[in-house]
Structure 1
């Protein structure tokens, strides 16, 4: 594996380690943007922006939109060059009163599934807790991030001696089997509350609300004799979020407005105030147009000239079950970025957007793979078609190939993160002019 690929995958694992929840992902990106000289624009404040500036805004502390305005951007010719990913991942969320007392002195935690988890992958591995806590302070409340940095919990299997069917038909009941063990008689419910408060730098009586998730403690890894695999929790979709963020920060385009959108709640349908179905992206684009003295007509024209790359990982051919992949449209690890298409329009890709994006990748010398679900498989949905319901533009769905999607431990190719960074840098840099869906003029890098 070459140096560039190893460096990109190593940086990816460092990023994921800092991002146990969507709140931490946005906080990590904010630190990076602040260090790069971006200006934070709170949604509730008036915005002051100008050509040549770099800015970002945040909603719910879990979704972020950043944008860079080229020096040669004018209201009558402007366009938006957008890449979108998501900050959340399938997990188990603690309920408001999470401590279950008993039996026989045990303390367990009451959790519910967030997204489509592979439940069995959460058993018999070290877990901890992360999220945000609302703390009473100075007559109001403030949000504080928490991550308890130690092995804290485990969800134990029933021994095979007590359940002989465990290898033939294991189907855990989420209400019964997936309650993580917190104590075997040493601690109390009050100890749990004090632990969370201490992690938030507060007293237990100051904590007024909590939004907490189980987090796997197994560290990410580059592995294999040839170093060709990268495995971690939350590769879906932090691999794409990382690649998009990295490319966005390095790419410049003087004649366009480059935009990075990272949405929360994709794994539960995106229909929240901070999801891809929300007004977040359309609000940002409208405010940018307004502050650049653009008219409503200018905004309509700009959106028609714009292009969205929706970035969310794709299913690689499984080594033990190749029959589950489509015969002609299957993708492999370490073979490059994936363009996804579906007749049911769960992906936004059409002939025009595919042609434009694949030509950009060709100019950047990035290999492209093509993915479609097997025709008797329903498949999933992602960000592009949902965000396009609020602000409609040409769009393509892409991702990186991976195995064990939605497991607590996912696997991808160590070379593919670098390919994604290179492709998205080209997307943001290359001159691009769209004439409806009839013609695209694509410049050179």
Structure 2
């Protein structure tokens, strides 16, 4: 079962080279499971006991499974993100070099490990806006062949490369697209050919490089998986699977997947936007509830902020805390930080530990070394818009923000199990000091 779930995850990732494709895959899965699409620009007619989803920017998605008995309800929210570090093509992308080569002009998106992008097959994916009369139509693009590559400088010309090298994204990391036969405008022609449209009708694009290396299952006992974009599509996939399997009549279950976490979440579709607030508030109103009902619901609501965590590195165990450190294939990770870069606190950790115990899932605890500044995630950003009890969790992995990351084959299954347990549960604040968790 571990291998089966991980292979499903890897298949999902292969079909999701960008956030746009990941959300498109989620929409397909939700529709296959009976979810109806809502549009933000239209009036919502929703009913208890029904299932819905809504997208923003085609790169963020929120799905809703409404219980049938919502007299005293709360929200069960699992949040993850759809984006990963990569390189984005600039508007005027083609650069000629001595009339012999054509490079593509790119800029970094997020904090990637630059060295991992060299000397491997890459291609281009994203969205393209095409004008059709008075309409601007979004087309998904995935060029499904080895198309570009970022070549390293030979060690003979860069003798100190193994002593540490500061990569310049405008100089060192531009991908090679073509040779002498490549002419200006060929990129647009290729895009138009892929989409079956006229070059003149292409208005704009959001296009990115993606790693063409196939995901793999490996290790002495096939205990590891490696793939692009495990951070954070592993959590997005497992959260969605648990969401589809779980339900509770007294709760509104919410699956939220936000874009732009890797660049701060401060966009209209990021965790720092009003997207989650807008959706929850509109649901409350469409159900005939008032403001008082909404704030009472939030008081009993709970979020699992799911974003991957750093496993102990076999070559550098000193990089992690001495005893709040985690290992692949040993369970779901709870992340905590005294400065609240993570949302976990005593209350939320207790509830999550209880969920893991009921699900039969092992749980681990991660904290940064006290002398190292760690990263943050989307939970505390989202809390600025919609406040509720929240715990930051994730799955242990190596090489976070490499273009080819590694995780444990068992942990995908573990996360699905505890997510299902969460979405089967009803959480209620019965007293200032008591949270009650029931099925």
Q: TM-score range by the shorter chain?
A: over 0.9
* 2:118 equivalent to 1:123: yes
Q: Name 1:161's counterpart in structure 2.
A: 156
Q: Name 2:109's counterpart in structure 1.
A: 114
User: Which runs of structure 2 are paired with 1:9-408 in the superposition (5 Å)?
Assistant: 9-74=6-71, 77-408=72-403
Per-residue displacement from partner, 1:35-90 (whole Å, max 9, x unpaired)?
1111100000000000110000000000000001011112xx11000000000000
Size of the alignment, in residue pairs? 439
Task: Tell me how far 1:437 sits from its aligned partner.
Answer: 5.7
- What TM-score, normalized by structure 1, do the two folds share? 0.97
Per-residue displacement from partner, 1:370-421 (whole Å, max 9, x unpaired)?
0001111111111100000000000000000000000000000000000000
Structure 1 segments unaligned to the other structure (5+ residues) = none
What CA RMSD, in Å, does the superposition of the two structures yield over aligned residues?
A: 0.9
* 2:4 equivalent to 1:7: yes
- Could you tell me whether the CA contact under 8 Å between 1:49 and 1:291 is conserved in 2? yes
Q: Name 1:443's counterpart in structure 2.
A: 438
Task: Tell me how far 1:140 sits from its aligned partner.
Answer: 2.4
Counterpart-to-counterpart distance in 2, 1:130 and 1:437: 50
Counterpart-to-counterpart distance in 1, 2:277 and 2:425: 24
Q: Name 1:431's counterpart in structure 2.
A: 426
- Could you tell me whether the CA contact under 8 Å between 2:74 and 2:427 is conserved in 1? no
**SS state at 2:185 partner:** helix
Counterpart-to-counterpart distance in 1, 2:431 and 2:132: 53
Per-residue displacement from partner, 1:273-308 (whole Å, max 9, x unpaired)?
000000000001001100111000100100111000
* 2:421 equivalent to 1:421: no
Task: Tell me how far 1:104 sits from its aligned partner.
Answer: 3.8
**SS state at 1:205 partner:** helix
* Bigger Cα displacement from structure 2, 219-228 vs 401-410: 219-228
**SS state at 2:124 partner:** strand
